[in-house]
Structure 1
Amino acid sequence: MTAHTIKVAGVAVDTRHWIGGERVASTETFTDASPIDSSVLGEISRGTATEAAAAVAAARDAFPVWAATSRAERACILNAVADGVEKRIEELAIVETMDNGALLRSHRRGVMPRVAHNFRFFADWLLKLDHEDFETRGHTNHVSWDPAGPCVLITPWNAPLMLATWKVAPALAAGNTVVLKPAEWSPLTASLLADIAAEAGLPPGVLNVVQGYGSEVGDTLTSHPDVRRISFTGSVPTAKRIAQSAAANLTPLSLELGGKSPLLVFADADLDLAADLAVEQYDNAGQVCLAATRFLVEESVAEEFTQRVVDKATRLKQGDPRDETTDVGPNIHPRQLEKIDGFVQRALAAGARAVVGGHRKDGQYYAPTLLTDVA
């Protein structure tokens, strides 16, 4: 154990950045607290423009060698990362649950195995990327897949490691190098991923992790002239700032933003199945970007469907996400809780009716809520 290592549910986690194959500490830190009980998990290195620039430089310097690494060798390393994830599924699951409050049983059974699968999937596809030359009007056409360069990947807090590896795995498979910036509300498993990747033989500088606030490291990362690709998952306001920052260098970027998806229920639907799907929207305390947060129901079955949802939703058990019997855990941060309560209270003030929930509970827990009579 070192001064920069914390224990989270018995798992050692380094609180420093990972840059160029080394741990790098910042002079300032930020506090990472568990949404389960607001307990402090640790003080995390708070990145600045200095660490962000160093990470980009490390990714730039590592790029030529990694890009020239054979596809077979890259795939081998990605599979070794997957092996490392699978060996540490229990550790990754409990750390992520402590850090973001999602259900431990979901992390064990679905989320962390999916993390390993992400690496294997892109390792497999990397070996299938092939295309024979073909002729067109006397000209030979050749298809190739060429690495772009250093990629900045900015990830959200609702499924931190799984969503990070959705970006990291394909970027590495393609021969790019990476600077990963995890959400400040849930940074811990990104640090563990850096350890796993290093143990799997990923060369120094190919994967870098910079922690901190987007306002303090984000501009440097997204406006840097050496960055060749940017991928962001998060809010619309932040995406606007990133797009403006990237525009100076015409850096290509991908934005995955929040939605307001509807679940459509028609009169000929299997209403019990539809109600089951509706109640699934409370997964991860509703903090899922593709959650169907609106139910649009044909009028002739609206009353019956609503009652079925109410019956199922009121049976959900809310509490400590480490408990195997818990169905709904806490919201990740007090600010998120305030945002949700603001939505609900404005709806109620406008004439909506809460047939389930509609109120806060102790700590960072919000009762699963269903509003009817909405505009």
Structure 2
Amino acid sequence: MSENNHAYTLSDGTSILDLPKVSLHDHLDGGLRPATIIELGSEIGLELPASDADALGAWFAEKSNSGSLVEYLKTFDLTTAVMQTSAGLERVAREFVQDLGADGVVYGEIRWAPEQHLGSGLSLDQTVEAVQSGIEQGIADVRAAGRPIRVGQLVTAMRHNDRGLEIAELAVRHRDNGVVGFDIAGPEAGFLPSKHRAAFDYLATEFFPATVHAGEADGLDSIRSALLDGRALRLGHGVRIAEDIVIERQDDENTYVTLGTLAQWVKDREIALETSPTSNLQTGAIAAWGDELIDHPFDLLYQLGFRVTVNTDNRLMSGTTLTRELSILADAFAYDRTDLEVFQLNAAASAFLPLEEREELADIISAGFEGS
């Protein structure tokens, strides 16, 4: 990125970069460095739209601002192309963790779809092992630089394919080798989580946690299926849960609303919403409310007590970092350090970690916010 993270400060002068953060929704194939794509692409003869890293980064940002999730997803053809070998996966994962550490992330979950990385003959298990190797190298690099970090994998099945159960079994097979959860991703509309009910049934028998992309490119039926069929503990984006909230009236100080039964359930059960503000604008996820950040239902959901978290989704496509996402939310809704701490504590409480480790993570966050 050409932007300087150090420029992002709160009104009290606090550097957002220096605050400890938790990243729950961050795609491996959406977080490559443009220079790495160019270098790895040249090794396989991949034709790219630009040969300069800054220009390539700008191309990704431009193509990602279409307002359509389907068009947005097409940019991944280039990134996945250079992630078909163990070496490629390992390098991308290592750099990914390095970039998380540089952004002040103390705990991150990286989601990716192994079935998209078999083009050069790797097995599903080999892809997971390569990514884990890269993650462990990245963790060592970050810690050697004096910064704490932990990272887990979210193994993802593509919802428009028929490999859900196979990928769920893969995830469970590697639960002691870095994999902390399961996800489904890809085109949401027309591909309800119920299509992968067998996978989710299997995960339930193994007591293995799932997050499900829902409420981004499709509405309440998708969210309902994520909860009923997917037993989702978190909703990937989930912003369209706001469609189940009716604003009755507003005055200068208050907004009076009525929550539908689905929204009430998500709120009362503290099912985390993995919102990604910039991405939500790019893909049209908040089109029902507007096309600017101030129109995002994030603040409404936050004020109503939903467990909102802040994420990047795809750092390359959105030209962003977690520091930047927090900064633009703070600017739009006048959030202060206390608000940003709530978002991080929400994420810590929703991390796919044992309870004791989630509590330790919350302590790290609180200590970091007090000391910054």
Q: Do Structure 1 and Structure 2 share a fold, with TM-score over 0.5?
A: no
Which is higher, the Rg of structure 1 or of structure 2? Answer: 1
TM-score category of the 2 structures, normalised to the smaller one: under 0.3
Q: If each structure's strand is expressed as a fraction of its own residues, which one has the higher value?
A: 1
